[in-house]
Chains A and B, each alone.
Chain A
Amino acid sequence: MPVHTFTLTPCYHCGTDCEENTFHADDKSFCCAGCLGVYRILNSNNLCNYYKYNSTPGQARSVKPQHFEYLDEQTIITQLVDFQDQELTVITFYIPSIHCSSCIWLLEHLHKLDKGVIGSRIDFLKKEVMITFRHAEISLRMLVELLTSISYEPMISLQDVIKQKKNSVNRNLIKKIAVAGFCMGNVMLFSFPEYLGMSVFDQGFKSLFSWLNLAFAIPVTFYSGRDFFISAYNGLKNKMFNLDTPLALIIAVLFLRTAFEVLTRTGPGFTDTLSGLVFLLLMGRWVKQRTYDHLSFERDYRSYFPVAVTVISDGREKPVSINELVVGDRILIRNNEIIPADSILMKGNGYIDFSFVTGESAPVDKVLGEIVYAGGRQLGEVIEMEVVKPVSQSYLTRLWNNDTFAATDNKIRNFNDSIAKYFSMVVFILAFGSAFYWIYLDNTDKAWAAFTAVLIVACPCVLALSTPFTLSAVLGIFDKNRFYLKNTDVVEQLARIDTMVFDKTGTISTPQELDLSFSEHLTAENKNLIASLARNSMHPLSREIIKWLRVSSYSEVSYFQEIPGKGISGFVNGRFVQLGSTLFINAAPDSDTNTSTVHITIDEKYAGYFGFKQQWRPGLKNLINNLKNRFNLHVISGDNENDRNDLSQIFSHQSSVNFAQSPQDKLEYIQNLQVSGSKVMMLGDGLNDAGALRQSDLGVAVTDNINNFTPGCDAILDGSSLNKLPQFIRQSKDALTTIKRSFIVAATYNLIGVFFAVQGILSPLTAAVLMPLSTITIITFTSVATRFYARRNQLI
């Protein structure tokens, strides 16, 4: 037997620890043939700079065979590309493995690997690469295979086919901000002489400046401020006061009064206040709209499903776009491919991993003639199936036809909108009250002055600004702790949560690490036998066993046999070894039902079993203890009851633990909680939770790698930050307190202003100073307070 030596060196390509005696090239060791292959390609093309910018920049590459035949179909190509003419094609790929500057360097040197590539450009944050190539020299399929060969496999999913335009909304807003800022700067310049007081000599300029200011006020009001009018109009049409109602009125009044003063030559008007106000309000909107480029909160099953599937017609295999799949088609599913539509198994042994759809962690056996639901992933041999339902009507995708997904927004109304109503009322009463008072005293000039001045000073500008600024500061703090919110409204929802529903697999248990144990004592020889045999299998449990055994060398295996869904067997060093489930090994005794097991026989003699247990996330017990007095806790799992005992130890008796829940059940469970008046937060991870995440008041997708697929949700939480949940909730509550306090500060300013305004003696200068001063105070106050609370909550 070989000597056991444990000298691990990091792989030169991907950094995975590997044994010395594996793969070598140019004094460098590699963990696998895949990494070595990438190195060879880069080396022969003089691209080794890749390793200079970062050490071990590569990604461990799976050697599983890939099938990209579908990329030769013209109908599919046209759906995927951005642009194509006689000579050139432009396509944008999403490549999840982009992570460092080496990746940028290599992918932008693609033209060195193939002459057909003209250029490539990376958007690092979005992990996208836009490639221009001559399709006569390199086909789309060859391009994707090239990328895969250097371990940058693009993720091509059905969602790519339905591309959405994103940027345009934001660009419009930035244009409006630019115009408002431009006008504000110029207006300030022209108003300055007015503030300082002008001599008689300069009176000629005075009218020029006011005319110029009026000219600048026009684009500010009618271009930059247009959205406020539209929003206010829409609100009034629905008989509802929103925050934009008073804002629109103030913008209108400011503009009209300025125009009136300039036209009648009675004064300089309020253009400086107007442009400053619009600029700041738009900034507030911009802060609110900023989102994460690299995260998607809107994914559904389409980004999980492949673009095409192999269909067998007249004995020939042909890739067909999933949208064109019809009932009766015979499809071919290879190892690791996803079944795109509900279908009947016609040929081969199905061994299907449904973990993504149902949450059930163990793969399921399927026999001939059985219906297999869409979304499962076939492990093992190639199978043939017949489609019984079109993709959009499948068991899984039907969930998206539920009303929940059609409703645009069923979330809680935010604090701002509810306070806006009362605020507007008070402002109107004050404005009209002072106007009528002065009219009553027969002083129409003062009535008009007081009316406009009250509106200007009492402007809910602060209301519109403090909220987005506070909440976006909170977003930034959460972001540092790997909790990514869709938008600022989510912070308010987080503060209102009183019920939490957890999914089990992948949410409170870690998906990767299984708690493994062996029932008997293992000799070094037996370890070697088992590991050598398991090495030949692609099955996830075999992988876990190899990792656990940590054997440094392997022996030859002969007569290896794998029966999918059952087990593996073979001769190692002349001894017959079997690994498998109870279905495979008859000698296996009835074991502990709490765990999934793999039994071992050596030379037909039972040698013990491996037990796999769910591993809970670290700190789960503390987290639950922390939460259980303040929130109603529930667990809904698609898995079987195996873990009930374990879970009930962690969760108290008040919390309800439910097993074997279908995606539809989960959705209804949330609905029922909401009907009884709870504000529900759902934490889930897979497609099976998608309905519940959408239905809940706050859907949080928990993931261990934020670049992985996450179902549509309101927030994405990195699994390692799950135990910070109580801090996140406290921080969001503190944020609402900060906002309320900032209103008090604003109200003080407003009262001072209103005191002068109702008397009709507010000069444009005072208004011009008061408005930005209060704004700056508020923004400073909110950001200081947010940081203070974050420190107290140990989030920074």
Chain B
Amino acid sequence: MNIIYFLIGCSIVMALFFLAAFFWSLKNGQHDDMHTPAIRILFDDDKPEDNEN
């Protein structure tokens, strides 16, 4: 059962890693605008042959 000590340690380290990742994303401004990226992802890539108009 001693392996549980190790597993607990692992789980805490991993959880801390995710907390740090969240802090980083927050600092990076990823949570500032929750609306625009949702629209932006739906845009098509530009088609170069769209010229004849």
Chain A: residues with CB nearer than 8 A to chain B? 26, 43, 46, 48-49, 53, 101, 104-105, 108-109, 122-126, 167, 171, 174-175, 178-179, 182, 185-186, 205, 208, 212
- B26 CB-CB contact with A under 8 Å: yes
Q: Contacts A167-B32, A205-B4 known; A104 to B39 CB distance under 8 Å?
A: yes
Count of inter-chain pairs, beta carbons less than 8 A: 55
| B3: chain A residues within 8 A (beta carbon) | none
| B36: chain A residues within 8 A (beta carbon) | 104, 122-125
Cβ A125 vs Cβ B15 within 8 A? no
Q: Which of B26, B44, B50 contacts A174 (CB 8 A)?
A: B26
Cβ B50 vs Cβ A46 within 8 A? yes
Cβ A124 vs Cβ B15 within 8 A? no
Chain A: which residue is nearest B4 at the CB level?
A: A205
Q: Contacts A43-B53, A105-B43, A123-B36 known; A208 to B5 CB distance under 8 Å?
A: yes
**Alpha-carbon distance A445/B11, docked complex (angstroms):** 37
| B35: chain A residues within 8 A (beta carbon) | 124-125
Q: Contacts A101-B39, A104-B39 known; A178 to B53 CB distance under 8 Å?
A: no
Chain B: residues with CB nearer than 8 A to chain A? 4-5, 8, 12, 15, 19, 22-23, 26-27, 31-33, 35-36, 39-40, 42-44, 46, 50-51, 53
Chain B: which residue is nearest A171 at the CB level?
A: B26
SS of B interface (majority): helix
Q: Which 4 interchain pairs have the tightest Cβ spacing?
A: A124-B36, A123-B33, A101-B39, A182-B19
**Alpha-carbon distance A704/B10, docked complex (angstroms):** 58
| A125: chain B residues within 8 A (beta carbon) | 33, 35-36
A104-B39, A105-B43, A125-B35 are known; give 14 further A-B pairs, CB within 8 A.
Answer: A26-B53, A43-B53, A46-B51, A46-B53, A49-B50, A108-B40, A109-B46, A124-B35, A124-B39, A125-B36, A167-B32, A178-B26, A205-B4, A208-B8
Cβ A48 vs Cβ B50 within 8 A? yes
**Alpha-carbon distance A167/B26, docked complex (angstroms):** 11
Q: Which of A46, A101, A174, A185 contacts B31 (CB 8 A)?
A: A174
Q: Which of B8, B23, B40, B51 contacts A175 (CB 8 A)?
A: B23
Q: Contacts A26-B53, A49-B44 known; A178 to B22 CB distance under 8 Å?
A: yes
| A171: chain B residues within 8 A (beta carbon) | 26-27
Chain A: which residue is nearest B34 at the CB level?
A: A125
Chain A: which residue is nearest B51 at the CB level?
A: A46
Cβ A48 vs Cβ B23 within 8 A? no
| A49: chain B residues within 8 A (beta carbon) | 44, 46, 50
**Alpha-carbon distance A124/B36, docked complex (angstroms):** 5
Chain B: which residue is nearest A205 at the CB level?
A: B4
Tell me the minimal C-beta distance from A185 to chain B in angstroms.
Answer: 8
Tell me the minimal C-beta distance from B50 to chain A in angstroms.
Answer: 6
| B12: chain A residues within 8 A (beta carbon) | 186, 212
| B5: chain A residues within 8 A (beta carbon) | 208
CB-defined A-B contacts under 8 Å, sample of 12: A43-B53, A49-B50, A104-B36, A104-B43, A105-B43, A108-B40, A123-B33, A126-B33, A171-B27, A178-B19, A178-B22, A186-B15
Cβ B40 vs Cβ A104 within 8 A? yes
Tell me the minimal C-beta distance from B25 to chain A in angstroms.
Answer: 10
| A205: chain B residues within 8 A (beta carbon) | 4
| A109: chain B residues within 8 A (beta carbon) | 46
**Alpha-carbon distance A167/B34, docked complex (angstroms):** 14
Chain A: which residue is nearest B19 at the CB level?
A: A182
Tell me the minimal C-beta distance from A739 to chain B in angstroms.
Answer: 29
Tell me the minimal C-beta distance from A556 to chain B in angstroms.
Answer: 35
| A101: chain B residues within 8 A (beta carbon) | 39, 42-43
Tell me the minimal C-beta distance from A434 to chain B in angstroms.
Answer: 38
**Alpha-carbon distance A104/B33, docked complex (angstroms):** 13
| A175: chain B residues within 8 A (beta carbon) | 23, 26
Cβ B50 vs Cβ A178 within 8 A? no
Tell me the minimal C-beta distance from B1 to chain A in angstroms.
Answer: 8
**Alpha-carbon distance A394/B39, docked complex (angstroms):** 45
| A167: chain B residues within 8 A (beta carbon) | 32
**Alpha-carbon distance A718/B13, docked complex (angstroms):** 51
Tell me the minimal C-beta distance from B48 to chain A in angstroms.
Answer: 9
**Alpha-carbon distance A122/B39, docked complex (angstroms):** 11
Q: Which of B26, B31, B33, B43 contacts A124 (CB 8 A)?
A: B33
Tell me the minimal C-beta distance from A8 to chain B in angstroms.
Answer: 25
Q: Contacts A46-B51, A167-B32 known; A178 to B23 CB distance under 8 Å?
A: yes
Tell me the minimal C-beta distance from B15 to chain A in angstroms.
Answer: 6
Chain B: which residue is nearest A100 at the CB level?
A: B39
Chain A: which residue is nearest B39 at the CB level?
A: A101
Tell me the minimal C-beta distance from B5 to chain A in angstroms.
Answer: 7
**Alpha-carbon distance A36/B33, docked complex (angstroms):** 33
Chain B: which residue is nearest A179 at the CB level?
A: B19
Chain A: which residue is nearest B37 at the CB level?
A: A124
Chain A: which residue is nearest B18 at the CB level?
A: A182
Chain B: which residue is nearest A52 at the CB level?
A: B44
Cβ A123 vs Cβ B32 within 8 A? yes
Tell me the minimal C-beta distance from B8 to chain A in angstroms.
Answer: 8
Cβ B53 vs Cβ A182 within 8 A? no
| A179: chain B residues within 8 A (beta carbon) | 19
| B26: chain A residues within 8 A (beta carbon) | 171, 174-175, 178
**Alpha-carbon distance A122/B33, docked complex (angstroms):** 9
| A48: chain B residues within 8 A (beta carbon) | 50, 53
Tell me the minimal C-beta distance from B44 to chain A in angstroms.
Answer: 7
